[in-house]
Amino acid sequence: MIRDARPNRVLVSLMSLGLLAWLGLDALSVAPNRLVQGTPLNPVEALGWWVTLVGALPMVCVVWLAWRPTAFRLWASLGVVVGLLMAMPLWLSGAVVAVLDPELPQARVGIGPGFWVLLFLWLLVLVELRIRLRLRRAWVWGLLLFVLVVWGIALSHWLTPLALVQEYQARSDQFLEAVSYHVALVGAAVGASLVIGLGMALTMRRFDGLRRLGFGVLNFLQTIPSLALFGLLLAPLAWLSHQVPWLGALGVSGIGWAPAWLALVAYSLLPMVRNTYVALEGVDPGVIESARGMGMSRLQVFFQVRLPLALPVMLEGVRITTVQAIGLTAVAALIGAGGLGTFIFQGLGQAAMDLVLLGALPIIAMALMADALLGALAERLRRREAA
């Protein structure tokens, strides 16, 4: 049983900040149409004092439970936090009904900063409780999936007046196409960097003189700003597509997917090569000598001993590279590469923050999912290796 006389300062601090965000920040904004800036509303202005106080009670409860944490109290806190995450769309739907004027059919309700701060803090609380209760990742993903189902039902039925939902409904086909293109570009860049990175790491191990030169070049590429690298690739690729007809037929040009893919591969190589090199070098020499003593050839030692033992650290490089590429692909929209970054820059140009969120939120979700899945896979391989 978990029993500690000291308060859990992380939970107390996070929930205290949540209370301040709930009481002090704007949760919604109401605008008569898409072109006019919305009027911010806090929970009191949206639904009144009583509903605001009732909404604050679960957070006060978690603070009280975390002040003298036991196993039972931590489990109770977990239940309260999951309940809060599920109740949030219900509160939003009630607020939307309360603040919308039926005489303004074009009116839109935007989500304010208080909502996003609360959601971020409650997810951090969920992470802290997972660590304290030593929950498996599958449990946490199951809880989040259940919460997402509630959110999906609310967004499709009760929260349609939200500006974010209306932006999606107006661009649903473009949105799905942008998501698939974003994932394809990231996958192509990470896959290419994995193959190239493995080859470079093996070459550096075989020829030690190339190690400093290789890492020096990769470090230099990492220091170039992304927009500058896109600009540097524009002229050479345009010239190549003009000189080599079959490259132009493949769609290679100064703008579009080609410079975006090359830039993503260039940025992905340093973490991929470094982690692969460190992973292969970090294998215990005694294990390698034992494998050779058993009569294994070099290829057998590499594929059956060195590579399996190095795989968890190599996966960390893949994880870092994937998360980095997901974010950088958004910037590639500036050179016509498409993807979710298109919505972000369109929203910035139109001063439509909900359109920005339509592009940014899926990118954040994809990065978190990739980080969690690859991290879980690396952890599982480490446990298997330790066993």
- pLDDT, tens only, 5-52: 578 899 999 999 999 999 888 888 887 776 677 788 888 887 788 888
Judged against a pLDDT cut of 70, whether residue 387 lies above it is answered with: no
User: What per-residue confidence (pLDDT) applies to 137?
Assistant: 73
245, with CB counted inside 10 A (0-12, 13-18, 19+), is exposed
User: What per-residue confidence (pLDDT) applies to 1?
Assistant: 44
Residue predicted with more confidence, 246 or 132: 132
Domain extent listing, the chain: 9-162, 172-386
User: What per-residue confidence (pLDDT) applies to 191?
Assistant: 93
Q: Report the range of poorest mean pLDDT among 46-50, 252-256, 309-313.
A: 252-256
DSSP strand pairing (108-111 vs 39-41): unpaired
**Per-residue confidence band for 77, with pLDDT thresholds at 50, 70 and 90:** very high
Nearest to 118 by CA among 251, 15, 200: 15
Question: What is the 3-state secondary structure of the chain?
Answer: CCECCCCCHHHHHHHHHHHHHHHHCCCEEEECCCCCCCEEECHHHHHCHHHHHHHHHHHHHHHHHHHCCEHHHHHHHHHHHHHHHHHHHHHHHHHHHHHCCCCCCCCEEEECHHHHHHHHHHHHHHHHHHHHHCCCHHHHHHHHHHHHHHHHHHHHHCCCCEHHHHHHHHCHHHHHHHHHHHHHHHHHHHHHHHHHHHHHHHHHHHCCHHHHHHHHHHHHHHHCCHHHHHHHHHHHHHHHHHHCHHHHHCCCCCCCHHHHHHHHHHHHHHHHHHHHHHHHHCCCHHHHHHHHHCCCCHHHHHHHHHHHHHHHHHHHHHHHHHHHHHHHHHHHHHHCCCCCHHHHHHHHHHCCHHHHHHHHHHHHHHHHHHHHHHHHHHHHHHHHHHC
Query: For residue range 334-344, what is the model confidence (pLDDT) as tens digits?
Result: 888 888 999 99
**Rg (the chain; Cα; Å):** 26
Put simply, whether the predicted model's pTM sits higher than 0.75 gets the answer yes
User: What per-residue confidence (pLDDT) applies to 386?
Assistant: 65
Mean pLDDT of 55-67: 91
- Dihedral sign for Cα 115, 121, 122, 123, please: positive
Residue predicted with more confidence, 227 or 56: 56
Query: For residue range 117-156, what is the model confidence (pLDDT) as tens digits?
Result: 999 999 899 889 988 888 877 777 788 888 888 888 887 7
- CATH fold for the domain made of 172-386: MetI-like fold (1.10.3720)
